């Protein structure tokens, strides 16, 4: 366990003071509910753009992408260069004209305008529940991590982080969340950049990293380049550590899941809706895409480095807490373990995953120690940063937890107030009433998140189950939006039945398949195992594909059987019935079209460089 220096605490406190100070300063600009929930649609594009990625830059991203980097290597970059970026370009160019142009105040409200009340209700309720639970799960992860690394009290960490987020959103609403997200963005960049630099320096640059990871790859039964080349081994699922072949990857992750998330999730779309003009709204995801495509270097590389940096380290204090013995002791335990045919992985600083009951390192079917990949990035921080920089790195980590949580809370209070409270509980109240309700929703949104964090702490299975349900609910969404925006014939009944059958299709597909080596239960197979996938990700991707296709087909069939809405009711909501947006910027590279071409060209180049 590491004890922090006064300088580390000073950096953290300074950051907290700024975060709350911004909320306090913005308070006097909040007069109407539109100010609170949509920042009065007055924010410049570079700010909404950075907030657009920062809201998504929660714990899942920073910790999870580091973990995936350690698990899958550079192939994790597919989440960015196949997944996020093309979807962000699409939402900016083609979907934002309808979101922003329809003057809908939320994504569910767009569904209400385009389709009908019941389609909105399904989306609003599932979204509201999902956001508070996601924020609870990330709060839980934060409390656990701080307890493990620094010995801080779980309760205190959760309450303080939750309290700060509550404070600045309560005061300044969405503007405050967005401004702080930009602060958090820069903090994360500046906090993690030196980590990558020091890590690469330690292993001898990219060439040294490739050489060392080649050893890890062959040790795990893959070709030498499997961890450092993103496409070369995607031909068959068994040749790469991700366990997916290129088609499942491109369709499942690239098309269905990423478009479903970046194009329909109100958490991110809300940032663009706050922009000060149509062009700014359309440029928001495009501006966001530029730093986003470089994020693999910031969040994935630390995980890859953690596998191979020299563990004879530099800091004797960087030994993890009780409950997670250092790598050295794990190696010692491994030599004691009898009849172990496979040599242990000794390099790197990723600690082994421990059996919660016995405290012994967990082993896989081949008898090798299972590593706790979620600790890859935090261990890198503890390993390489001296007092001072460590404070900055930990503050960046805290910032990522808080920006993720704030994104969830602002999306929740808007959907709750506009789509649920104003629509079903109390209509026609004065605006000040909804503003007060928004502030109140912020309080109970945070409160439920904290409760959810404790639920997660005591019943791990419930959270696995919830995340599974969320995955089912999200998978078909993009089909509904794509048909709604580009096919005037799609009807409300069609959208609703399509959405529900898509969710059911996801559950059925998941229930009839199982990833290799998993047991029947929350991992699938509860309707009988019909197919087995080489990995959990492959199963996730194909579940999404099944949901999307079902939703797409059912929506079309039911729409054709039901009465269409007259075209004049669909103005501003559907492609072809909406005037083409005009750009109000002067320079050519500021226009959404050319910007999109630049973004896509760079993305293709990155894919080729790491092919």
Contact residue for another protein among 1, 94, 125, 194 (CB under 8 A): 194
Task: Say if residues 370 and 364 touch (Cβ distance below 8 Å).
Answer: yes
Tokens, residue 231: 């496409």
Count of Cβ atoms closer than 10 Å to residue 36 Cβ: 30
Positions of E strands within 495-610: 513-515, 531-533
Is residue 277 close enough to count as binding another protein by CB under 8 A? no
Q: Which residues contact 566 (CB under 8 A, 6 or more apart)?
A: none
Q: Which residues contact 438 (CB under 8 A, 6 or more apart)?
A: 33, 36, 37, 173, 413, 414, 417
Nearer to another protein, 315 or 433 (CB): 315
**CA–CA dist 448, 166 (Å, integer):** 12
Name the residue among 284, 244, 249, 256 with its Cα closest to residue 56.
Answer: 284
The one-character DSSP state at 590 is G
Nearer to another protein, 74 or 349 (CB): 349
Count of Cβ atoms closer than 10 Å to residue 438 Cβ: 25
φ, ψ at 310 (rounded to 5°): -65, 125
Contact residue for another protein among 235, 388, 517, 521 (CB under 8 A): 388
Contact residue for another protein among 384, 412, 541, 548 (CB under 8 A): 384
Task: Report the nearest approach of another protein to the CB of residue 439 (Å).
Answer: 18
Contact residue for another protein among 13, 155, 190, 346 (CB under 8 A): 190
Contact residue for another protein among 198, 451, 512, 556 (CB under 8 A): 198
Tokens, residue 346: 């000794």
Return the half-sphere exposure (C-beta side, CA atoms, 13 A cut-off) of residue 152: 18
Which residues, 311 to 370, sit near another protein by CB under 8 A? 313-315
Q: Partners of 354 in the beta sheet?
A: 361
Task: Report the nearest approach of another protein to the CB of residue 268 (Å).
Answer: 19
Binding mask 282-321 for another protein (x = CB under 8 A): -------------------------------xxx------
Nearer to another protein, 186 or 424 (CB): 186
Task: Report the nearest approach of another protein to the CB of residue 250 (Å).
Answer: 37
Task: Report the nearest approach of another protein to the CB of residue 321 (Å).
Answer: 20
Coil/strand/helix, residue 75? helix
Nearer to another protein, 154 or 384 (CB): 384
Contact residue for another protein among 182, 237, 330, 490 (CB under 8 A): 182
Judged by CB under 8 A, which stretch of 186-194, 292-300, 516-524, 541-549 contacts another protein? 186-194
Rounded to a whole number of angstroms, the distance between the first and last alpha carbons of the chain is 40
Contact residue for another protein among 219, 221, 386, 528 (CB under 8 A): 386
DSSP assignments along 355-394, one per residue: -TTT-SBPB-TTSPBPB-GGGHHHHHHHHHPPTTHHHHHH
Task: Report the nearest approach of another protein to the CB of residue 582 (Å).
Answer: 24
Task: Say if residues 464 and 522 touch (Cβ distance below 8 Å).
Answer: yes
**CA–CA dist 555, 543 (Å, integer):** 18
Residues in contact with another protein, counted by CB under 8 A, come to a total of 37
Is residue 392 close enough to count as binding another protein by CB under 8 A? yes
Nearer to another protein, 11 or 216 (CB): 11
Which residues, 2 to 61, sit near another protein by CB under 8 A? 7, 10-11, 14-15, 18, 21-22, 25-26, 28-29, 39-40, 42-43, 47
Nearer to another protein, 34 or 419 (CB): 34
Which residues, 157 to 176, sit near another protein by CB under 8 A? 175
Task: Say if residues 284 and 45 touch (Cβ distance below 8 Å).
Answer: yes
Residues of this chain that interact with another protein (CB under 8 A) are 7, 10-11, 14-15, 18, 21-22, 25-26, 28-29, 39-40, 42-43, 47, 175, 179, 182-183, 186, 190, 194, 198, 201-202, 313-315, 384-389, 392
């Amino acid at each position: 366990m590491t004890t922090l220096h006064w300088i580390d605490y000073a950096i953290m406190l300074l950051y907290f003071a700024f975060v709350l100070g911004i909320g306090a300063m913005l308070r006097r600009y909040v007069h109407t509910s539109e100010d609170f929930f949509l920042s009065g649609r007055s924010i410049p594009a570079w700010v909404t753009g950075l907030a657009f990625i920062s809201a998504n830059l929660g714990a899942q991203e920073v910790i999870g992408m580091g973990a995936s980097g350690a698990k899958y290597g550079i192939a994790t970059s597919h989440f960015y260069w196949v997944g996020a970026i093309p979807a962000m370009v699409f939402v900016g160019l083609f979907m934002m004209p309808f979101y922003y142009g329809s003057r809908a105040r939320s994504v569910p409200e767009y569904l209400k305008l385009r389709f009908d009340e019941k389609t909105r209700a399904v989306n609003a309720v599932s979204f509201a529940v999902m956001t508070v639970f996601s924020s609870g799960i990330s709060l839980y992860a934060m409390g656990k991590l701080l307890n493990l690394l620094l010995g801080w009290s779980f309760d205190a960490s959760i309450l303080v982080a939750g309290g700060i987020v509550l404070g600045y959103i309560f005061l300044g609403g969405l503007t405050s969340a967005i401004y702080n997200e930009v602060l958090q963005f820069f903090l994360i960049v500046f906090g993690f950049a030196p980590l990558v630099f020091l890590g690469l320096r330690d292993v001898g640059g990219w060439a040294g990293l490739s050489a060392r990871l080649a050893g890890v790859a062959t040790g795990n039964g893959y070709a030498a380049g499997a961890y450092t080349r993103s496409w070369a081994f995607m031909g068959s699922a068994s040749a790469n550590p991700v366990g997916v072949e290129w088609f499942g990857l491109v369709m499942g992750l690239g098309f269905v899941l990423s478009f479903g998330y970046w194009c329909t999730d109100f958490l991110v779309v809300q940032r663009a809706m706050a922009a000060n003009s149509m062009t700014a709204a359309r440029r928001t995801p495009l501006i966001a895409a530029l730093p986003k495509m470089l994020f693999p270097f910031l969040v994935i590389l630390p995980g890859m480095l953690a596998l191979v940096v020299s563990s004879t380290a530099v800091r004797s204090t960087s030994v993890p807490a009780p409950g997670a013995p250092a790598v050295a002791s794990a190696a010692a335990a491994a030599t004691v373990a009898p009849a172990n045919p496979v040599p242990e992985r000794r390099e790197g600083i990723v600690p082994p995953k421990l059996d919660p009951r016995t405290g012994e390192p967990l082993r896989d079917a081949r008898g090798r120690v299972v590593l706790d990949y979620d600790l890859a990035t935090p261990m890198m921080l503890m390993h390489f940063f001296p007092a001072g920089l460590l404070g900055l790195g930990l503050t960046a980590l805290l910032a990522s937890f808080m920006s993720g949580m704030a994104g969830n809370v602002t999306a929740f209070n808007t959907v709750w107030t506009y789509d649920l409270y104003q629509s079903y509980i109390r209509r026609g109240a004065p605006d000040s009433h909804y503003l007060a309700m928004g502030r109140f929703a912020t309080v109970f949104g945070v409160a439920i998140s904290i409760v959810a964090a404790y639920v997660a702490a005591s019943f791990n299975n419930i959270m696995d189950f919830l995340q599974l349900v969320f995955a089912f609910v999200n998978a078909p969404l993009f089909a509904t939006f794509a048909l709604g925006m580009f096919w005037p014939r799609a009807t409300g009944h069609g959208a609703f039945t399509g959405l529900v059958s898509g969710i059911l299709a996801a559950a059925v597909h998941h229930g009839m398949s199982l990833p290799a080596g998993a047991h029947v239960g929350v991992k699938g197979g509860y309707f009988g195992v019909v197919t087995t996938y080489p990995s959990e990700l492959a199963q996730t991707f194909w579940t999404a594909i099944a949901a999307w296709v079902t939703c797409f087909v059912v929506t079309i069939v039911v729409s054709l059987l039901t009465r269409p809405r007259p075209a004049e009711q669909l103005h501003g909501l559907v492609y072809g019935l909406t005037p083409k947006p005009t750009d109000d910027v002067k320079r050519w590279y500021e226009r959404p079209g050319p910007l999109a071409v630049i973004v896509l060209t760079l993305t293709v180049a990155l894919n080729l460089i790491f092919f």
